[in-house]
Chain A
Amino acid sequence: MSYILNTQQADKVLGTLAEKYAVYAPKRFVNQGRYSATDSIRYDKVSSASEIVWQVKSDYPAKEVINPIQQAIFYFTEDEYRASKVKEQPVLIFARPCDINAQKIQARIFAGNGGFTDLYYARMRERVKFILMDCNGGDDTCFCVSMGSNAVDEGDYSAAVKFSDGGMEVKVTDPELEPFFAGCDSCDFAPEFVTENELKVEVPDLSDKEVRLALKKHPMWKEYDARCVSCGACTVACSTCTCFTTRDVIYGDNPEVGERRRVTASCQIAGFDQMAGQREFRSTAGDRMRYKVLHKFHDYKARFGERHMCVGCGRCTHRCPELISISATVNKVSAAVAEIKADLGKA
């Protein structure tokens, strides 16, 4: 069923939902942006519709709710390991199609790769229901249509919402959520998806091994030695990046008590591939950029099939302090591949 709610009704419904569910949505953090007097928009718990930022894309992805930037995975008491517990409360996440599609990508790695299912991801993911947020077209960094992640299937969400200044329209697909909208006026709202972005990306065909090996040695990567500062902001803002590292922490002055923490890691930061007592394999920013870009636009798909590891959300471009654009980078890769294919007589 579909319903139309004014702002007061929307706030009330959200308040009731928040009594049963932990409701997460993009929220504005005033003056917490990167520059003076700018805001940061990121996921946090909400209990009213008016807290939800729907007008613009969030700076950080919805993945943070399921796969937080850091979490305790074990608690230590002397030499006992106890796995951390998870809160039983079910979770609702308001997310655009790109963020929902990103979870399909993360799931292939966390819940299945190599036959192992990650306890910490799976136990959180199984409690999550998505509420699809209507996307008004994103911004000039978005290219979801090029990546085929502009739309989701009805089975991917429990309800679809289109916010406006006057309130919201909702289509509820999950019977569990129906009672929360009892008494609201019905309407014929159905979600629509973006069908064209201003930005278009041409993902190159890298299926030829010889072409791929030549691409890895192509001088285009050297440009990033000068431009990229290896800060890792792109991977933190990425909707799909899953990499993490573990770090043991001792509590205060008692060396017998502590925790093992899972912390987001970035392949863009020096040391990501460095083993104890050995040199890095990827010692330049260009090497690390090549590693990331080929994972997103070849390696992931080569392993898991279906789709690339980029949903075209553009957050990495948005966050890069050096103004490196992922879409421009991919188009550069395409140009380099065309050049390589011509050289190899494979055009």
Chain B
Amino acid sequence: MINPVQPYPCKILDVHKESVHEWTFRVATDAKVAHGQFMQLSIPMIGEAPISVSAQGDGWLEFTIRNVGKVTNVIFEKTAGDTLFLRGPYGKGWPVDQFRGKHMVVITGGTGLAPVRSMLNAFAAGPGLVKDVTLICGFKNEEGIVFHKELEEWKNKFTTIYALDNDVKENWRTGMVTAFVKEIPFDQWGDDYAVVVVGPPPMMKFTGLELLKCGAKVENIWMSFERKMSCAVGKCGHCRIDEVYVCLDGPVFPYSVARDLVD
């Protein structure tokens, strides 16, 4: 009998400090992960945490982690050469096939950029995949900015709006991401676009409402959720909302489903 919660050991290849509290861990593994899926990171004697895959390459995956809990605090003590245990990948990622050939809009709040990073890198590497990309990234303040290098690269490939909630930064805008949604030319795109939104729950709620106000259609919007999990395989019940399990049916949900979910 297969044990779906059995973790396996993986070597940490590199630790990159994105910001004070958010570090990216590159881990050696051959796991094949779809954009937007997550894995369970496991440490014996400590516990497990679901973390989305923030980048992938030949024989490695990256996880961008904020040290806010019991497990992530211990992960932050690890360095290249140390072992991390993984299991997964789990859940449903971004429906990239449905995005093919369309105008793509990506709106993120804070570390919400991590679950879309690998997809954005794929869009940047293969320009034919989607028609074009409009990327709106918001961060609370300058210390919260992650993926500096990629943010610079994406400026050359996508239409970008980078913003800090309250702070001022050169060539950056100031304000919540919701303030910039009206600049997206939905009226010029007919039905030929797709929007993905990831961030803290209030940010996703208000961005969804603003998108509808600006003419985006419900069926063209997707969101990625984050919830507490123990098992990640639909047994423990922590991530259930109504009749869906975030670990099985999500973390990516069509907005038509996401907007009616009540925790």
Contacts and interface: CB of A to CB of B under 8 A. Distances in A.
B1 A119 contact: yes
Interface in A279-300: 281-282, 287, 291, 294-295, 298-300
Contact of A81 (B1, B70, B85, B230): B85
Interface string A76-91: 1011110100000000
A31 interface: no
Interface stretch (A55-63, A239-247, A339-347): A239-247
Contacts of A300: 243
B4 A273 contact: no
B263 A119 contact: no
Nearest to B47: A248
Contact of B226 (A109, A244, A275): A275
B236 A244 contact: yes
Among A121, A246, A267, the most chain B Cβ lie within 10 Å of the Cβ of A246
A265 interface: yes
Interface residues of B, number: 45
B15 interface: no
A117 B262 CA distance: 27
Contacts of B101: none
A183 interface: no
B170 interface: no
Contact of A245 (B6, B7, B226, B230): B230
A268 to B, nearest CB: 12
Interface in B217-263: 226-228, 230-231, 233-238, 240, 242-245, 247-248, 260, 262-263
Given A213-B262, A274-B228, A276-B68, A119 B3 contact: yes
A113 interface: yes
Given A113-B235, A119-B1, A275-B227, A302 B243 contact: yes
A277 interface: yes
B233 A114 contact: yes
Interface of B: 1-7, 9, 42, 44-49, 66, 68-72, 83, 85, 201, 226-228, 230-231, 233-238, 240, 242-245, 247-248, 260, 262-263
10 tightest A-B contacts by CB?
A276-B69, A277-B68, A243-B237, A281-B263, A114-B248, A114-B234, A113-B234, A116-B233, A76-B44, A302-B243
Interface of A: 73-74, 76, 78-81, 83, 109-110, 113-114, 116-119, 121-123, 209, 213, 216, 242-248, 250, 255, 258, 260, 265, 267, 272-278, 281-282, 287, 291, 294-295, 298-300, 302-303
6 contacts: A79-B9, A79-B44, A118-B4, A243-B237, A276-B69, A299-B242
